[in-house]
Amino acid sequence: MARSRRGFLKGAAAGAAVAVVAPQPSAKAQESAPRNATAQANATTVAADTGRRPATVASRIVEKPGSDFMVDVLKTLDFEYLAANPGSTFEGLHESLINYGDNKMPEFLTCCHEESAVAMAHGYAKIEGKPMIAMMHGTIGMQHASMAIYNAYVDRVPIYMVAGNHADGAERSSGVASLHSAQDIGALVRDYVKWDDQPYSLGHFAESAVRAYNIAMTPPMAPVLIVANYELQAHPNVQSDLRIPKLSRTRPPQGDSGAVAEAAQMLVAAERPLIITERTARTPHGMKLMIELAETLQAPVSNQERMDFPNRHPLAGTGGAGYQADVVLNLEVNDVSNSARAARARGAKTISITSLNLSHKSNIQEFGHYPEVDLNIGADAEATLPALIEACKKLITADRRRALDERGAKLAEAHKQARARDIELAAVGWDASPVSLARLCAELWPLIKNEDWSLVSWQGFISQWPRRLWTFDKHYQYIGGQGAGGMGYGAPAAVGAALANKKHGRFSVSIQTDGDLNYAPGVLWTAAHHQIPLLTIMHNNRGYHQEVMFIEQQASIRNRGADRAHIGTKLWNPNIDYAKMAQAYGQYAEGPITDPKDLAPAFQRAIAQVKKGEPALIDVVTQPR
């Protein structure tokens, strides 16, 4: 027999009420007990889903639950948003956030997967420069979230994570509550969070919550985890002397003055210095410092990851053909071992400045090979740049200045030639179908360049065409990649970054790979539901093309044909219709587009939707890279 949703909810609510008070039912609860067979069935269903609820309090009404105080604590840390997939281990805190906290600062963002929640926070932090809360439900939420946490850890992005957990075995019921709880729940992800704690009192929660924020935001930045024990959320707060510590931010460490002076000497004396940067500009000011250092030295800047240096600056690049660097300055480069080895082989020197030297873990091997560098400075690069620039300027004589400027002129010419070459290469396969990535990016550029735009997706899978064709000169115009190469990051990170851009009135665009979107496409709904303006252009090459190439290599090495390389790597037969997928999740969408002539009109229609404050998606069938 069909049953209405309203009826189901009514029955479920009644059943839940009974379950909560089961051991010592109050008179009020007895009144609301199920009175017919349907309600009884609902109570049974709910009990099966959630397990018997623990008797958290003797009375039905809790006037001042501990989770209200947790909200007071979180509000002092100025969080704008909290992303979560709901779960019973944090139901008390959830209720406090939306009722006691009025769902403001932070506002609750409904997510369809914990990996999406964390990756949204990842993208948000890279634009906003501060963390969002991602909340996880016990053991299952933590494990769902784990890949996204690892990406953020390697990408050095602060995420403030709160996990629910039934810590007290005496209060915890059997069944689901036990399945979703752990003795040491932080252990599930401790290898790739910077710090975690499981407070056992509200005072402890307050102190650890503030401490966690500071640790997350101190370079090298990384995710942190606070466990909000279920019992602490649910029990009444009976303490009258609770206080919330004032946040006292740790200033990022600056490089040792002697080491900075030595680095300056090496760089000023170098004939062909090269600056490699990955994550130096933590703030917009960091980008200005990067420009000042490059211009002081007249050295080329290879910007490998986030937006540290304008791509159209005459010093952007690696110096052109034949420019063999004799001193390489690595700024916040995660793994310098390869470039250091290459430098050593040609007699060049390597300097590294990174805060990673100050924080190490053992299990995960993301640190790569031991970096044999000539000068290793354990410090935050952005904080060190002013001293380094000053030290360099002091060493540059008038004669040296002339020599540096001559080098700068040659580098500017090399930059110009490299750019012209890139644009010529963009013409290759111009009318091809499937659409070339260069054509896609070239068609998009004139339509967004006059907006206050922000590219919120990684360029690695699209042959860096935006960097080669567009003009990037603002800190928020590019957020880099996944960190640890974990797929499933792209779509939610783009939504999180677009959310951060929203209040600034920026136009967010993501060139989204199909393989990545299929990990957890529910984030398309989150974007629609929360009205997050984001233009998503599908790079739909119908497969995991990196893996196709890897399988081909293996077949070659084993003297077998590559005719089966598509098995396990392609997303075709049937082809996935991303326009229909996005429409199903509530977004404006068009596609699939296979003729490049159809790109611009479709982009224009989607842009109009995004400018109304909505997400929109255009599915483009593309060349593999």
**Minimum CB distance to other proteins, residue 101 (Å):** 48
The span of 61-69, 93-101, 435-443, 475-483 binding other proteins (CB under 8 A) equals 435-443
Residue of 420, 568, 580, 612 that binds other proteins (CB under 8 A)? 420
Distance between CA atoms of 164 and 7, rounded to whole angstroms? 30
Q: Quote the strand ranges of 304-362, DSSP E.
A: 327-331, 349-354
Q: In the complex with other proteins, which residue's Cβ is closer, 239 or 471?
A: 471
Helix crossing, 37-50 with 5-21: angle to 10°?
70
Rounded to a whole number of angstroms, the minimum distance from the CB of residue 613 to other proteins is 28
Among 324, 471, 531, 604, contact with other proteins (rule: CB under 8 A): 471
Q: One symbol per residue from 276 to 295: x for binding other proteins (CB under 8 A), - otherwise; what is it?
A: --------------------
In angstroms, what is the minimal distance from the CB of 550 to other proteins?
Answer: 10
To the nearest whole angstrom, how small is the minimum distance from the Cβ of residue 600 to other proteins?
9
> Is residue 500 at the binding interface for other proteins, with CB under 8 A as the rule?
no
The distance of closest approach from Cβ of residue 439 to other proteins in the complex, given in angstroms and rounded to an integer, is 9
Q: Does 469 bind other proteins (CB under 8 A)?
A: yes
**Residue 488: closest CA among 519, 510, 455:** 519
* 490 closest CA partner among 518, 452, 448, 468: 518
Q: Is 424 in the site for other proteins (CB under 8 A)?
A: yes
| Contact flag: residue 625 with other proteins (CB under 8 A) | yes
Q: How many residues does the chain have?
A: 625
Number of residues that bind other proteins (CB under 8 A): 40
Quote the tokens at residue 222.
Answer: 């990384």
> Between the CA of residue 478 and those of 46, 215, 459, 550, what are the distances in Å?
46, 25, 9, 28
Backbone angles phi, psi at 137, to 5 degrees: -95, 100
| Beta-bridge partner residues of 512 | 538
- Write the CB contacts of 11 (distance below 8 Å, at least 6 apart in sequence): 34, 38, 39, 41, 42, 43
Least distance in angstroms from the C-beta of 569 to other proteins = 9
> Is 176 one of the binding residues for other proteins (CB under 8 A)?
no
The CA-based angle 355-360-365, given to 5 degrees, is 115
Residue 562 interacts with other proteins (CB under 8 A)? Answer: yes
Using alpha carbons, list the distances in angstroms from residue 23 to 26, 54, 56, 59, 621: 10, 9, 10, 11, 60
The reply on whether position 572 binds other proteins by CB under 8 A is no
| Interaction pattern, residues 440-459, with other proteins; x per rule: CB under 8 A | --xx-xx-------------
Q: Binding of other proteins at residue 601 (CB under 8 A)? A: no
Identify residues 330-369 at the interface with other proteins (CB under 8 A).
Answer: none
Residue 413 near other proteins by CB under 8 A: no
What residues are paired with 509 via a beta bridge? 455, 535
Contact window for other proteins (CB under 8 A) among 23-31, 228-236, 428-436, 486-494: 428-436
Interface segment toward other proteins; rule CB under 8 A; list 288-296, 404-412, 558-566, 606-614: 558-566
Mark the segment that binds other proteins (CB under 8 A) among 125-133, 174-182, 232-240, 418-426.
418-426
User: What Å distances lie between residue 152 and 124, 145, 359, 489, 524, CA to CA?
Assistant: 11, 11, 15, 9, 21
438 forms part of the interface with other proteins (CB under 8 A) = yes
Residues 65-124 interacting with other proteins (rule: CB under 8 A): none
430 makes contact with other proteins (CB under 8 A): yes
Amino acid identity, position 415 = H
- d(CA 142, CA 193) in angstroms, rounded, equals 12
Measured CA to CA, the distance from residue 385 to residue 401 in angstroms comes to 20
User: Can you list the alpha helix ranges (DSSP code H) found in 22-112?
Assistant: 27-31, 37-50, 66-75, 91-95
Our CB check for other proteins shows the closer of 303 and 622 to be 622
- The reply on whether position 566 binds other proteins by CB under 8 A is yes
Kindly write out the interface string for residues 526-555 of this chain, putting x where it contacts other proteins by CB under 8 A and - elsewhere.
-------------------x--xx-xxx-x
Interface pick for other proteins out of 434, 480, 483, 521 (rule CB under 8 A) = 434
504 binds other proteins (CB under 8 A): no
**CB burial of residue 573 (10 Å; 0-12, 13-18, 19+):** exposed
Minimum CB distance to other proteins smaller for 365 or for 559:
559
In the stretch 362-401, what mask flags binding to other proteins with x, by CB under 8 A? ----------------------------------------
For the bound state, the minimum distance from the C-beta of residue 297 to other proteins, rounded and expressed in Å, comes to: 25
Segment interacting with other proteins, rule: CB under 8 A, options 265-273, 404-412, 438-446, 491-499:
438-446
How far apart are the C-alpha atoms of 486 and 366, rounded to whole Å? Answer: 13
CB of 527 or CB of 599, closer to other proteins: 599
The Cα-based distances of 346 to 121, 324, 325, 350 in angstroms read: 42, 9, 9, 11
Task: Rule CB under 8 A: choose which of 48, 395, 409, 432 binds other proteins.
Answer: 432
State yes or no: residue 46 binds other proteins (CB under 8 A): no
Least distance in Å: CB of 203 to other proteins? 57
Figure out which of the listed residues 427, 504, 568, 611 binds other proteins, where binding follows CB under 8 A. Answer: 427
Element (H, E) at 597: none
320 part of the interface to other proteins, by CB under 8 A? no
For 184, 203, 205, 206, the CA distances from 243, given in Å and listed in that order, are 26, 7, 11, 7
Reading the block at residue 115, the tokens are 């990996």
Distances from the Cα of 269 to the Cα of 302, 331, 349, angstroms: 20, 19, 12
Q: Which residues bind other proteins (CB under 8 A)?
A: 420, 423-424, 426-432, 434, 436-438, 442-443, 445-446, 463, 469, 471, 545, 548-549, 551-553, 555-557, 559-563, 565-566, 623-625
